[in-house]
């Protein structure tokens, strides 16, 4: 189902054409109001109770689990993608000579931990080259074999939205006896996802992009095989019995159940968790399939206008619906994004691609304005 314009739920001035959700989403008006009230709670610490350290965390954990079709026991609260990827790298078994697969030009948060692990374990970090036909799925399937220990990939490439079919990749990864680790920051909330179809060992996403949440809050889903693993840090709140503040020095070896052992210290962020929860509720209310379909009408419009101008784009059958790359070629000015910004049009240049990432607050008029200014400033 296509949704109508949701611009009224945000606070974007009429003269702003913001097509850059893959960089950072605007805050929902209601979430901003909730956040302002949440920040003020620190002014009255006598009103914060021990229960507040747990109830809001469990609420947002359950909402994220609902979004991906998983169970709340499998969800950890993390501050960033790199934190979650580092936790995954600290738990997946990797032997000398085995392969860790990543994509060409993959975002650094899902690279550095694997580089370190490869150096420490004697494994090989193998970069899958960018395919000319944008078919990352085929390229990955050809590389996964019994020597593969880890497949660490996104659902779509961050530079242009080109798609990785995680269900097919996950199946092959499982057959090879390898671990699947997914950086889903550029897809969750705008691209349909079902944990039962993909079955990742670890899946991580920060909330400040397509989950419409605040900076500094993220989520990690952990497969059942790794729920007894080793967390990055040993904090008090992820230990069994931490709800009883009077017995915190009755030190516990056991952790809270499930993936909670991976929760970041001070996860009970009274200012940010309510904002993240409100954003998740709104996305669930819209329905991710509806979000994807609606944004897809805009990226289709972008593709059509680009084609008329002779601009190559990420082809529809090889990309997600919520993001598209425009390949302007070597003659495009280096400061193209800045030139567009001077006209209140906001996109990103990532690699060789002008990445355009609209959301439900955008209209076809925004797309027309983008191309009007693009023709004027691209040289």
What CATH number is associated with residue 180? 3.40.640.10
What is the pLDDT at residue 192? 97
Return the percentage of the chain with pLDDT > 90, whole number.
Answer: 94
Looking at the fold, whether 333 and 372 belong to one and the same domain comes out as: yes
Q: What is the C-alpha to C-alpha distance for residues 335 and 159, in angstroms, rounded to an integer?
A: 17
Q: Does a structural domain hold residue 167?
A: yes
Looking at the fold, whether 254 and 331 belong to one and the same domain comes out as: no
Looking at the fold, whether 162 and 305 belong to one and the same domain comes out as: no
Tens digit of pLDDT for each residue in 256-305? 999 999 999 999 999 999 999 999 999 999 999 999 999 999 999 999 99
Task: State the average pLDDT over residues 63-77.
Answer: 98
What is the pLDDT at residue 163? 98
Q: What is the C-alpha to C-alpha distance for residues 142 and 136, in angstroms, rounded to an integer?
A: 10
Task: State the average pLDDT over residues 143-151.
Answer: 98
Q: Does a structural domain hold residue 132?
A: yes
Looking at the fold, whether 238 and 292 belong to one and the same domain comes out as: no
Tens digit of pLDDT for each residue in 304-344? 999 999 999 999 999 999 999 999 877 778 888 899 999 99
Domain end, chosen from 239, 259, 285, is at 285
Q: CB burial class (10 A; 0-12, 13-18, 19+) of residue 52?
A: middle
Looking at the fold, whether 20 and 37 belong to one and the same domain comes out as: no
| Sheet strand arrangement including 348-350 | 312-313, 324-327, 353-356, 348-350
Alpha helices by DSSP H, 287-349: 288-308, 336-341
- pLDDT band for position 229 (cuts 50, 70, 90): very high
Tens digit of pLDDT for each residue in 6-32? 999 999 999 999 999 999 999 999 999
Looking at the fold, whether 178 and 305 belong to one and the same domain comes out as: no
- Tell me the C-alpha to C-alpha distance, in Å, between residue 371 and each of 19, 31, 32, 81, 239: 12, 32, 31, 33, 54
Looking at the fold, whether 22 and 45 belong to one and the same domain comes out as: no
Q: Does a structural domain hold residue 342?
A: yes
Tens digit of pLDDT for each residue in 163-176? 999 999 999 999 99
Looking at the fold, whether 62 and 135 belong to one and the same domain comes out as: yes
CATH number of the domain residue 317 falls in: 3.90.1150.10
Domain end, chosen from 253, 285, 317, is at 285
- pLDDT band for position 4 (cuts 50, 70, 90): confident
> Domain tally for the chain?
2
378, pLDDT greater than 90: no
Looking at the fold, whether 271 and 371 belong to one and the same domain comes out as: no
Looking at the fold, whether 51 and 81 belong to one and the same domain comes out as: yes
Q: Does a structural domain hold residue 1?
A: no
Instruction: Print the domain residue range for 136.
Output: 32-285
What is the pLDDT at residue 351? 85
Looking at the fold, whether 235 and 331 belong to one and the same domain comes out as: no
- Residue-averaged pLDDT of the chain: 96
Show the tokens assigned to 83.
Answer: 């934190």
Looking at the fold, whether 235 and 301 belong to one and the same domain comes out as: no
Domain end, chosen from 254, 285, 316, is at 285
Q: What is the C-alpha to C-alpha distance for residues 67 and 185, in angstroms, rounded to an integer?
A: 14
Q: Does a structural domain hold residue 319?
A: yes
Return the percentage of the chain with pLDDT > 70, whole number.
Answer: 100
47, pLDDT greater than 80: yes
Q: Does a structural domain hold residue 97?
A: yes
Q: φ, ψ for residue 238 (rounded to 5)?
A: -90, 10
What is the pLDDT at residue 379? 64
Q: Are 219 and 260 in contact (CB under 8 A)?
A: no
Tens digit of pLDDT for each residue in 195-224? 999 999 999 999 999 999 999 999 999 999
40: Cβ–Cβ under 8 A, 6 or more apart, which residues? none
């Amino acid at each position: 189902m296509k949704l109508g314009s949701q611009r009224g739920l945000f606070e974007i001035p009429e003269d702003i054409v913001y097509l850059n959700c893959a960089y950072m989403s605007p805050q929902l008006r209601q979430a901003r109001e909730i956040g302002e009230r949440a920040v003020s709670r620190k002014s009255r610490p006598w009103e914060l109770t021990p229960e507040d350290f747990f109830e809001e965390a469990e609420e947002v954990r359950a909402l994220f689990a609902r979004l991906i079709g998983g169970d709340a026991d499998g969800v950890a609260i993390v501050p960033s993608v790199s934190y979650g990827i580092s936790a995954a790298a600290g738990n997946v078994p990797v032997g000398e000579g085995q392969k860790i697969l990543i994509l060409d030009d993959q975002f650094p948060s899902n690279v550095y931990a694997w580089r370190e692990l490869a150096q420490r374990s004697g494994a090989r970090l193998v970069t899958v080259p960018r395919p000319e036909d944008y078919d990352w799925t085929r390229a990955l399937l050809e590389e996964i074999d019994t020597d593969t220990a880890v497949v660490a990939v996104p659902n779509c490439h961050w530079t242009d939205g080109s798609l990785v079919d995680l269900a097919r990749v996950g199946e092959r990864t499982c057959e090879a006896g390898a671990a699947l680790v997914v950086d889903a920051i550029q897809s969750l909330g705008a691209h349909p996802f079902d944990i039962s179809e993909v079955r990742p060992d670890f899946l991580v996403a920060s909330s400040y992009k397509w989950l419409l949440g605040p900076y500094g809050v993220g989520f990690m889903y952990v497969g059942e095989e790794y729920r007894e693993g080793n967390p990055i840090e040993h904090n008090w709140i992820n230990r069994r019995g931490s709800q009883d503040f009077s017995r915190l020095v009755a030190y516990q070896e056991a952790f809270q159940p499930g993936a909670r052992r991976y929760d970041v210290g001070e996860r009970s962020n009274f200012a940010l968790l309510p904002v993240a929860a409100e954003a998740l509720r709104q996305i669930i209310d819209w329905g991710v399939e509806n979000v994807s379909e609606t944004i897809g009408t805009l990226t289709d419009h972008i593709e059509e206008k680009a084609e008329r101008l002779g601009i190559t784009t990420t082809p529809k059958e090889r990309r997600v619906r919520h993001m598209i790359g425009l390949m302007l070629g070597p003659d495009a000015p280096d400061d193209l994004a800045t030139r567009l910004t001077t006209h209140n049009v906001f996109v990103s240049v990532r690699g060789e691609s002008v990445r355009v990432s609209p959301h439900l607050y955008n209209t076809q008029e925004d797309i027309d304005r983008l191309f009007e200014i693009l023709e004027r400033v691209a040289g």
